[in-house]
Amino acid sequence: MAPPHYLPALRERIARHALPPGAKLLESELSREFGVSRAKVRDAFGALEQRGLIRRMLMRIVRFWRST
């Protein structure tokens, strides 16, 4: 099964350094931008966190961590 359309888009932003390290990623903004639920965005965050690309901080703050 192919990854959802928004997951590669987020990885691409990270790869081309469109997000500076420490940039705050907001579920609500990304949800509106990609036309998906916030739960889907949280799922994408989980996949990106497993790859070491972002780090979840506190309850709802997600920050870009590093590029590979």
> What would the pLDDT profile of 16-26 be if each residue is shown by its tens digit?
878 788 888 88
Give the chain's domain count: 1
Q: What pTM was estimated for this model as a whole?
A: 0.73
Closest CA to 47 of 59, 56, 35: 56
- Domain CATH for 50: 1.10.10.10
Domain hosting 52: range is 6-64
Region 31-44: mean pLDDT is 89
| Contact status, residue 14 vs residue 53, Cβ threshold 8 Å | yes
How would residue 7 be classed by pLDDT, with cut points 50, 70 and 90? confident
For all residues of the chain together, what is the average pLDDT?
A: 80
Q: At what angle do helices 38-50 and 27-34 cross, to 10 degrees?
A: 110
Q: Is residue 1 part of a domain?
A: no
Q: Is residue 12 part of a domain?
A: yes
